[in-house]
């Protein structure tokens, strides 16, 4: 079954067993990012941590960037679900309290969800040589080492080789993936291709598919009942600016790691309340 056009998945799982395997892969991806950073992430290590053949990783993803993008999509979905649950649990909340819920849930996930500090809703670009990766306290090596090529007909540590293998009984066979080349773990700008310099990369930067545009649209939907004109241009613009400003301020607040600088978090909260006041009800 093909995934939606905007999905980082090569194919969407159609069986519960496939969906559970995909969840294990993303959980492993998040854990490894938490432990070693995005730069050192490799599809091979994810397969080992998830306890699946590497062909199962390539069944869903073309490489580590697509895998991290899927993790970011899942993070955004879970964030929206958790904010909605917070708001539903406090039906008498005013608009300013609702804004606080949006901020508080992000902070809670940043402190407790594995990998969220580095891959929240978008994939970090590779760090410049000699510079620390975004959100990392120490500089990583100059670039990720590609996965070693599997031996012909096999994969590192056994399991599925290039082109897939059968996977679980009843699952659709893999398409050819080229995982033996290690190209899936190369970043844009390594060995040719487009350089990446933004903190978050993925959908087109600055366009309607930009990460923060997607986040702003989700937040606008969550706060719709607390906005004067939720579909108006002013609300759309102000929430986008608020997301961009909050992104920068919280990176500053969490530069030394969780739980974040309480004074900078308080300043962020005050900024959000004041800036969004013209579009909030009450």
The answer to whether 202 and 69 are in contact (CB under 8 A) is yes
Q: Where are the domains of the chain?
A: 16-279
Q: What is the pLDDT of residues 211-224, one digit of tens each?
A: 999 999 999 999 99
Q: What is the pLDDT of residues 268-281, one digit of tens each?
A: 999 999 999 999 99
DSSP state of 41: -
Provide CB contacts within 8 A for 110, sequence distance 6+.
116, 117, 120, 250, 254, 258, 260
Question: How does residue 282 score in pLDDT terms, banded at 50, 70 and 90?
Answer: confident
Q: Assign 201 to helix, strand or coil.
A: strand
Distances (CA, A) of 48 to 44, 81, 177: 6, 30, 18
| pLDDT exceeds cutoff 50 at 246 | yes
| CATH superfamily of this structure's domain 16-279 | Tetracycline Repressor, domain 2 (1.10.357.10)
Q: Assign 26 to helix, strand or coil.
A: helix
Cα–Cα distance for residue pair 83/220, rounded to 1 Å: 12
């Amino acid at each position: 079954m093909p995934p939606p056009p905007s999905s980082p998945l090569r194919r969407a799982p159609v069986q519960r067993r496939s969906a559970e395997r995909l969840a294990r892969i993303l959980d492993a991806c998040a854990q490894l990012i938490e432990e070693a950073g995005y730069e050192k992430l490799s599809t091979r290590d994810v397969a080992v941590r998830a306890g699946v053949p590497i062909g199962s990783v390539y069944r869903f993803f073309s490489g580590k960037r697509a895998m991290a993008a899927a993790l970011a999509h899942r993070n955004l979905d879970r964030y929206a679900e958790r904010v909605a649950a917070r708001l539903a649990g406090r039906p008498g909340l005013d608009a300013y309290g609702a804004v606080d819920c949006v901020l508080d849930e992000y902070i809670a996930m940043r402190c407790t969800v594995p990998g969220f500090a580095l891959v929240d809703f978008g994939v970090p670009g590779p760090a410049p040589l000699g510079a620390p990766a975004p959100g990392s306290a120490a500089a990583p090596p100059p670039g990720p080492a590609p996965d070693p090529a599997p031996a012909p007909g096999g994969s590192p540590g056994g399991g599925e080789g290039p082109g897939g293998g059968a996977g679980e009984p009843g699952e659709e066979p893999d398409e050819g993936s080229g995982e033996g080349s290690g190209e899936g773990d190369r970043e844009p700008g390594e060995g040719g291709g487009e350089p990446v310099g933004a903190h978050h990369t993925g959908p087109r930067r600055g366009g309607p598919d930009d990460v923060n545009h997607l986040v702003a649209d989700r937040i606008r939907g969550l706060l719709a009942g607390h906005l004067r004109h939720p579909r108006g241009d002013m609300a759309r613009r102000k929430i986008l600016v608020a997301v961009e400003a909050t992104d920068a301020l919280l990176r500053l607040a969490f530069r030394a790691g969780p739980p974040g600088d309480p004074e900078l978090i308080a300043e962020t909260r005050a900024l959000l309340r004041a800036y969004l006041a013209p579009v909030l009800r009450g």
